[in-house]
Chain A
């Protein structure tokens, strides 16, 4: 980032930064040219609206930091010229570049660092999105990273990068000039962070009764199955769903970093937050747009709810009321664990390995199936409501159970349920068995031929009358396999298939 003086007044400087695109931070060079002539300030190189607005912030911040604003022509070029630059994180590199071109920065130290950060008018720095992605890019380029102090804990999660958190433009300048060395602290290792933070979820012991739904959650947790709960309003579907993350195994360091990276890109990390250690639980409202659920936005797509739920739970209450566009678009991520979003600006990819927990009322009025009440829905509307879920999407939801609204008598008769910790212990053991089997036999699939005669007979009789798809048949077997793993049994037996049949029912009747 040297300052070069030629032809008297002309000065040029270069500062490295990034632009966040999807999950990646692409390197961007900020070139500043100070020329003679009337006072002007131009930015070229595909800046978005937020970048163009930088001009006002940068000017005020520099003036507030008691530096002179060059009263001549300032031209900024953002390279590469064909990459669209998004966001306000270019404020800091812009300001640093202008000061360098103006001769205020004299040392070469800054050339070993990437700069990112949004400036306030008084020269303080505000946190930005995508710090983890930027740190990863810095590591690849063999550089350090100067960024707002609020972002430094997350950036420090990436090992091998010298991360400098600064609070003001003045501090950033001091660092670049070698006059100041902010105490960066020793970055903590990922496992330390995981241990440090206590993770608390609501506990399953709060739920009375609901044996079927509890079991369904447990099997879903072991086998990574998606789950649909159907029950009247107030039967506890939301309560059960909220307790699902608590019966999943705790996140490992790598998983936690993946989740934190998505949240960092979305700009949803709290200022100063480092690693997200609890599994995300996202519950978009059924009026949510496809772009907000799946991901999208203009001109550069950002992650949607399904990506924010990566490694966690996506709870879709009132599943039939989501727009058809949303329901259809869920199919690809459910299958592939990621989503690809194409926009004119760019095509990006976000991770989306989430557990889908869906809930639905039995009918629009919520009273169908309750023996003491009368459903007031016209039959046509009932069909319409239920048909929204038919076919391919429902096929991908392996476990479908009914959740009862307990009567007073039933509430008194049922015993309080197990705690999340007890269930989680079984889930962890079950997942361990699955992992061992996969390692021993990577190509393993549950075949019909491995079943004994009574088990095959049971499957045959269950599927004889139903117009079931081949997928439904195999998914039933997959659920039975998960149950066997949960029980610690090598081979799928009749009881496992029988229970799988119970957990995978046509819930609409």
Chain B
């Protein structure tokens, strides 16, 4: 099932050019999937136990930026990493996963579906030979590859002691950009990005911010973005419920009473809005409006 593994060395043209510049680049990389494209790369990493907000943001940023032409790099870990790969793949773009184990091992196994999608339409990279187990000390070294290949790293949620913070620190050491997405102040997984922002990381509130910071807004753009996807057909009641929603998760009971309709009706409408990606579901029957919805509401 697994296609043949290739080995690329530092002198190969396929070897990511930025990775050559770091202090201890891997001598060779094992690669499966599509060839590594010579496109500007951006790492999107974050918490393994994210909130629904974080997942949504990661998927949204990955999708938009991949469509704009960036190659999204991440670690195929649970949570934000997986969401970043999926966002990019869903946008019809490629994505690069850097593993801390042999390429024949899918770790974590829960992300098997991402692994398979990457084999087909993405690239999976590791400096470890086949059969290498995912040992804890492999991950910080793996993070140096993620940071080293990329122009910058976007941190979406993470705890101060988490692996995403290691990637951020390495990016800084390699003099790459560090971007952080802010989150609710009471959420423990917002603490990591907030610390980074305090220490000078760029605060990022939209995918466009990243293109501007990277100085790519001239070359790359969201040309296809605005018109087709952004005008979903909404029934009057759907618009009413959407108007009653906020970017923060709100309890179904409260949304229903704000919209002045029974909770059962609100629940049905929310299900439809969720399928249109305008609403995200959170723990405990709470719902929030997605970034896409705020654009709709603004219009």
A328 at the interface (CB under 8 A from B): no
Other-chain residue from A213, A374, A404 in contact with B283 (beta carbon distance below 8 A): A404
A75 at the interface (CB under 8 A from B): no
Contact (A212, B184) CB under 8 Å given A405-B284, A458-B275? no
B159 and A212 contacting across the interface, CB-CB below 8 Å: no
Residues of B within 8 A of A496 (CB): 268
A215 and B267 contacting across the interface, CB-CB below 8 Å: yes
B121 at the interface (CB under 8 A from A): no
Other-chain residue from B52, B263, B264, B285 in contact with A403 (beta carbon distance below 8 A): B285
Inter-chain CA distance A372–B249, complex, in Å, is: 12
Contact (A406, B251) CB under 8 Å given A213-B285, A371-B282, A498-B269? yes
A211 and B282 contacting across the interface, CB-CB below 8 Å: no
B187 at the interface (CB under 8 A from A): yes
User: Shortest distance in angstroms between B56's beta carbon and chain A's nearest beta carbon?
Assistant: 12
Interface residues of B in 235-268 (CB under 8 A from A): 249, 251-254, 256-257, 263-268
A99 at the interface (CB under 8 A from B): no
A211 and B253 contacting across the interface, CB-CB below 8 Å: yes
B188 at the interface (CB under 8 A from A): yes
A379 at the interface (CB under 8 A from B): yes
Number of B interface residues at 8 Å Cβ cutoff, please give it: 37
Interface residues of A in 236-285 (CB under 8 A from B): none
Inter-chain CA distance A482–B252, complex, in Å, is: 21
B198 at the interface (CB under 8 A from A): no
B249 and A371 contacting across the interface, CB-CB below 8 Å: yes
Residues of B within 8 A of A383 (CB): 110
Proximity string of chain B (153-195) to chain A, C-beta cutoff 8 Å, 1 when within and 0 when not: 0000001000000000000000000000000101111000000
A231 at the interface (CB under 8 A from B): yes
User: Shortest distance in angstroms between B213's beta carbon and chain A's nearest beta carbon?
Assistant: 28
Residues of A within 8 A of B263 (CB): 211-212, 214-215
User: Shortest distance in angstroms between B90's beta carbon and chain A's nearest beta carbon?
Assistant: 10
Contact (A410, B251) CB under 8 Å given A371-B187, A373-B188? yes
Other-chain residue from B52, B253, B268 in contact with A498 (beta carbon distance below 8 A): B268
A370 at the interface (CB under 8 A from B): yes
Closest chain A residue to B251 by CB distance?
A: A410
B7 at the interface (CB under 8 A from A): no
Residues of B within 8 A of A379 (CB): 48-49, 78, 108
A398 at the interface (CB under 8 A from B): no
B51 at the interface (CB under 8 A from A): yes
Inter-chain CA distance A384–B8, complex, in Å, is: 38
Inter-chain CA distance A125–B248, complex, in Å, is: 68
Contact (A372, B188) CB under 8 Å given A414-B254, A498-B271, A499-B268? yes
Closest chain A residue to B270 by CB distance?
A: A502
A402 and B275 contacting across the interface, CB-CB below 8 Å: no
Contact (A402, B48) CB under 8 Å given A212-B267, A215-B263, A502-B270? no
Proximity string of chain B (115-133) to chain A, C-beta cutoff 8 Å, 1 when within and 0 when not: 0000000000000000000
Proximity string of chain A (91-103) to chain B, C-beta cutoff 8 Å, 1 when within and 0 when not: 0000000000000
A371 and B49 contacting across the interface, CB-CB below 8 Å: no
B286 at the interface (CB under 8 A from A): yes
Max chain B Cβ within 10 angstroms of own Cβ: one of A371, A401, A415, A483: A371
B39 at the interface (CB under 8 A from A): no
B251 and A371 contacting across the interface, CB-CB below 8 Å: no
Proximity string of chain A (377-420) to chain B, C-beta cutoff 8 Å, 1 when within and 0 when not: 00100010000000000000000011111100010011100000
Residues of B within 8 A of A414 (CB): 251, 253-254, 257
A501 at the interface (CB under 8 A from B): yes
User: Shortest distance in angstroms between B119's beta carbon and chain A's nearest beta carbon?
Assistant: 17
User: Shortest distance in angstroms between B110's beta carbon and chain A's nearest beta carbon?
Assistant: 7
Max chain B Cβ within 10 angstroms of own Cβ: one of A414, A494, A499: A499
Inter-chain CA distance A405–B256, complex, in Å, is: 18
Other-chain residue from B52, B254, B267 in contact with A502 (beta carbon distance below 8 A): B267
B272 at the interface (CB under 8 A from A): yes
Residues of B within 8 A of A402 (CB): 283-285
User: Shortest distance in angstroms between B61's beta carbon and chain A's nearest beta carbon?
Assistant: 19
Interface residues of B in 99-153 (CB under 8 A from A): 108, 110
A289 at the interface (CB under 8 A from B): no
A360 at the interface (CB under 8 A from B): no
Closest chain A residue to B52 by CB distance?
A: A509
Contact (A499, B267) CB under 8 Å given A371-B184, A371-B187, A374-B188? yes
B284 and A374 contacting across the interface, CB-CB below 8 Å: no
Closest chain B residue to A501 by CB distance?
A: B271
A51 at the interface (CB under 8 A from B): no
B271 and A369 contacting across the interface, CB-CB below 8 Å: no
A448 at the interface (CB under 8 A from B): no
Closest chain A residue to B159 by CB distance?
A: A374
Interface residues of A in 75-127 (CB under 8 A from B): none
User: Shortest distance in angstroms between B248's beta carbon and chain A's nearest beta carbon?
Assistant: 9
A292 at the interface (CB under 8 A from B): no
Contact (A212, B252) CB under 8 Å given A362-B283, A369-B283? yes
Proximity string of chain A (172-215) to chain B, C-beta cutoff 8 Å, 1 when within and 0 when not: 00000000000000000000000000000000000001111111
Inter-chain CA distance A379–B264, complex, in Å, is: 34
A462 at the interface (CB under 8 A from B): yes
B253 and A210 contacting across the interface, CB-CB below 8 Å: yes
A235 at the interface (CB under 8 A from B): yes
Inter-chain CA distance A79–B291, complex, in Å, is: 79
Closest chain B residue to A362 by CB distance?
A: B283
A212 and B285 contacting across the interface, CB-CB below 8 Å: yes
A132 at the interface (CB under 8 A from B): no
Contact (A498, B272) CB under 8 Å given A379-B48, A414-B251? yes
B254 and A410 contacting across the interface, CB-CB below 8 Å: yes
Residues of B within 8 A of A212 (CB): 252, 263, 267, 285
A44 at the interface (CB under 8 A from B): no
A211 and B252 contacting across the interface, CB-CB below 8 Å: yes
Other-chain residue from A210, A215, A231 in contact with B264 (beta carbon distance below 8 A): A215
User: Shortest distance in angstroms between B244's beta carbon and chain A's nearest beta carbon?
Assistant: 13
User: Shortest distance in angstroms between A385's beta carbon and chain B's nearest beta carbon?
Assistant: 13
- A sample of 19 cross-chain residue pairs with beta-carbon separation below 8 angstroms, ordered by A number, consists of A209-B253, A211-B253, A211-B256, A211-B264, A215-B267, A232-B284, A371-B184, A371-B283, A374-B159, A374-B188, A379-B108, A405-B284, A406-B251, A410-B254, A461-B275, A494-B272, A496-B268, A499-B264, A499-B267
- Taking A232-B284, A458-B275 as given, write out 13 further A-B residue pairs in contact, using a Cβ cutoff of 8 Å, ordered by the A residue number: A211-B251, A211-B264, A211-B266, A235-B284, A368-B49, A368-B283, A369-B282, A371-B186, A371-B283, A414-B251, A415-B257, A498-B268, A499-B264
8 cross-chain pairs, A with B, having the tightest CB-CB distances, nearest first: A404-B284, A369-B283, A211-B263, A499-B268, A212-B285, A498-B268, A502-B271, A498-B271
